[in-house]
Amino acid sequence: MRVAIYRRVSTEMQKEEGFSLEAQKMRLEAFALSQGWTIVDDYCDDGYSAKNLERPHIQRMIKDMKKKKFDVILVYRLDRFVRTVTDLHKLLQLMDRYDVKFKSSTEAFDTTTATGRMFITLVATIAQWERETIAERVYEAMLKRSETGKRNGAPAPYGYDLEDGKLILNYDEAKWVKFIFAQYLTHGSQNIAKKLNSRGITTKKGEIWSDFSVRYTLKNPIYSGYVRWNYESVSGGHRKKTGEEVIVKLEQEDFEPIITKKKWDEIQQIIDDRYNMAFRSQNHYPFSSIGKCAKCGKSIIGNKKVRSNGFEHRFYKCQGRFRFGICDAPVIPELSIEKAFLEILDININQLVNEIDVEQNQETDIDRNKLNKQLEKILCKKERTKEIYTDGDMTKAEYRKKMNQLTIEENELRGLLEEQEQHASTEDIKQILSSIKEEWKELSYESKKHAIHLLFKYITIEIVEPSKPNKLAVVKISDYSFK
């Protein structure tokens, strides 16, 4: 039997005895040897959580499963493999489709029978319930701490160090915090990030500054002696603002604020004013975000300038250069990118379509049915919660918390369903590619953007020859991937 072993540790568990990658490997190799199995590949996700399947080596394993490279998947324990029932169902369906068995070296699971599959699902369901129960208790404890002005164990923000649970001023970093707040009175966050990077100043994690990290610093009330709670929630691996942020004074007697609360409030007002006054362009840039710079891998973003003669010059800027200051890629005219894009469409369209994994459409149908069922359950739970609250069996605070949680889950599911709807069939893709090629000049910018973003995950753009006076840049599409 050909066996693929899968190992995983999250960053929090790497030092736990018995869960190290090397310890898992030794157990799995010994188990495979005892069964007379041949290990054909070792899939190892180092420092990844099992909260979803967005892990590089489990994705590689799924691809190899479809190529029938192994007969059995062997893991040290089920929770090294998956942690949610949804992901388990998805993987079990794939294993069933490609006739691959699953085995844990420490647990008695048999996925070859209906009873065995039911048992492994039951175990995963109970484990997920336990994790969610613990998470709810932790949330309540953190809420109580925040209401009394205590921090909840987060790492020290830039400008401070953490000593014995207290925030101690880091004078070297504090001067740059003051610099950020002072500069924002007359400069934007991108400009501030460039200045910090040009001076060799890094973030707390040793990374380069970006407009996001500058804004995050500006919006953090800790610098004025206050802490915030419920600022963001994490759902499906994405951070979202809750809209219910609570700010209270930090309870630490010897804490040294870097700026005054009045100054922090003034900066927040400036941030809000700039956001509200910002020009929201109604133009559509077909290659924005989906286009990637070949030099640094960052996205390119569209912009335009209108010359005195009324001519509209549309171009794209590499975010690695203009946002992070780590790249030297020049501005690229939109016409240059269009020319290179249409050239790849001159390749036989059938050849392009054949690069798409047709099986994705089959899996999409399965996933869509699952998502619809999950959405129905969430909506039923919301109705039931309303009934319980109306009957007086739930406090207002409990009702709001429960409804907020269910609404977040509902929005996540609706977002996933929208993504599923965007997957086009092979025939649709042929028609769209043909239409793009034949009618490109007649299409609106909005239609161009919709078509490109419907079909492609990314398009990597390489500059062969930069623009010169009276001569457009020459670029080529060096890589691309369909959705």
Q: Are 455 and 482 in contact (CB under 8 A)?
A: yes
Structure token digits, residue 11: 């960053």
SS3 label, residue 375: helix
Q: Are 301 and 285 in contact (CB under 8 A)?
A: yes
DSSP string of 350-397? HHHHTTS-THHHHHHHHHHHHHHHHHHHHHHHHHHHHHHHHTT-S-HH
Instruction: Report the alpha-carbon distance of residue 116 to residue 102 in Å, rounded.
Output: 11
**Neighbouring C-alpha atoms within 13 Å toward the C-beta of 85:** 19
Structure token digits, residue 390: 């109306």
CA-nearest of 212, 191, 209 to 201 is: 209
Calculate the dihedral angle through the C-alpha atoms of 258, 262, 268, 272, rounding to the nearest 10 degrees.
-160
SS3 label, residue 166: strand
Residue type, 371: L
Cα distances (angstroms) measured from residue 225 to each of 149, 247, 341: 10, 10, 53
Q: Quick one: which H or E segment has residue 159?
A: none
Q: What count of residues does the chain have?
A: 483
Structure token digits, residue 138: 């932790």
Scan for tokens 């171009």, then name that residue: 315
Structure token digits, residue 65: 């499963």
SS3 label, residue 362: helix
Based on the residue annotation, tell me whether 146 is a catalytic residue of this protein: no
CA dihedral for 140, 142, 146, 150, sign (positive or negative): positive
SS3 label, residue 131: helix
CA-nearest of 46, 7, 57 to 28 is: 7
Catalytic machinery residues: 10
